[in-house]
Structure 1
Amino acid sequence: MHPLITALAAHDETADFLAWPGDFALDRGDHVEEVHLASGAALEGFAGDGAGGTYFFCGEGGEEHPVLYADSEGGAALVAIGLPELLRLLLVAPWWRDCPALTAEESAEAAADHLEDMPDLADRRDRAAAALGLALPSEADVLARLREVATGAGKDVVLVYTPEGTPYRRLITG
């Protein structure tokens, strides 16, 4: 098992924060349908969200695996290069899926909604990051990195619905 995943399992408060508002749970690694990478590289589901989305490690390696997110509606995007980068995204901008253009304005609106429901969000986030030993970038930096990964390294990562041989649509474009 990956050391950061082990650390998550050992820290209930951190796992709780990632479960909400991050909508990320390690016990949801099975995707709703049969998929594979067009390249033939390995694909390992390791976590998911409440709406049927799945986080996959792509290729070989350890925590530095690229991480692909696939929703249950046929969309997918490479969202991080490595588990630490994914966790920083989920800690800093857990509402990233509510920001299709990845703009600061969208993120500020989503953050305001979350802060209204969870006034101690920043304190809980900071404790979770400390428990994982992660330094946190700014919200703008984490969203810029998400766009860079999805449209750079991720431009050639194609998830395919195996039974029909059809590719998933890109969740994050240009």
Structure 2
Amino acid sequence: MRSLINAVREHDEAARFLAWPGDFDLDRGDHGEEVHLASGAVLEGFAGDGAGGTFFFCGAGGEDRPVLYADSEGRAALIAIGLPELLQLLLVAPWWRDCQTFTSEESRRLAAELLDDMPDLVTRRDHAAVALGLALPAERHVLARLREVALGIGQDFVLVFTPEGEPYAPLFED
């Protein structure tokens, strides 16, 4: 099976789109503070964003592991099950962090703001998806899956600030 991490590194156009507007950089996997999962499962930082947030693989295995995102403000959520699902989220709705209601209406408003600054967004996104060999689901499906993972499955993935033993706050509220 082909490694998507390697595919991102090999395809400049895809890596550039994921870096902006996706705000996802494979060279920023260090979270900067000591954290662990309350369950004791393995936690591996593999990418980050420009504001100090980190994407973590949870548990043992490969790129199919659950992906938890922690921001630099002490909030976290499980956001995808596996790297393919994460990259689909970043490609289809790179504004996902601001989509607190998970609705298409909210997403369209956020997309419009970005499209004003980046009119070639859809073309760039589609080229990145082809380069990575990913099919792009409909926006409503991506948002529904984010909601399902973050507010359902994700309840079992609690990130803890190790020095104080305090859990991170939820990134999304139900």
TM-score category (smaller protein): over 0.9
Matched, 1:153 2:153: yes
Tell me which residue corresponds to 2:54: 54
Identity of aligned residues (%): 73
Q: d(CA) in 2 for partners of 1:152 and 1:7?
A: 30
Answer yes or no: is the 8 Å Cα contact 1:31–1:54 preserved in 2.
yes
Tell me which residue corresponds to 1:106: 106
After superposition, what is the alpha-carbon deviation per residue over 1:84-141, rounded to whole angstroms, capped at 9, x for unaligned? Answer: 0000000000000111121212111110011111101001000000001100001111
**Offset of 1:173 from its aligned partner?**
2.9
Q: d(CA) in 1 for partners of 2:94 and 2:114?
A: 9
Q: d(CA) in 1 for partners of 2:41 and 2:162?
A: 14
Q: d(CA) in 1 for partners of 2:154 and 2:98?
A: 20
**Offset of 1:151 from its aligned partner?**
1.5
Matched, 1:162 2:162: yes
Q: d(CA) in 2 for partners of 1:97 and 1:151?
A: 14
Q: RMSD of aligned C-alpha atoms?
A: 0.9
- TM-score for the superposition, normalised by structure 2: 0.97
Within 5 A, what are the aligned runs for 1:10-159? 10-159=10-159
Q: d(CA) in 2 for partners of 1:66 and 1:20?
A: 23
Unaligned stretches of 5+ residues in structure 2: none
Code of the aligned partner of 1:19: A
Answer yes or no: is the 8 Å Cα contact 1:150–1:173 preserved in 2.
no
Q: d(CA) in 2 for partners of 1:152 and 1:109?
A: 25
Describe the SS at the equivalent of 2:77.
strand
Q: How many residues align?
A: 173
Answer yes or no: is the 8 Å Cα contact 1:48–1:54 preserved in 2.
yes
Query: Which aligned segments of 4 or more residues in structure 1 are displaced greater than 4 angstroms?
Result: none
Unaligned stretches of 5+ residues in structure 1: none
Describe the SS at the equivalent of 2:85.
helix
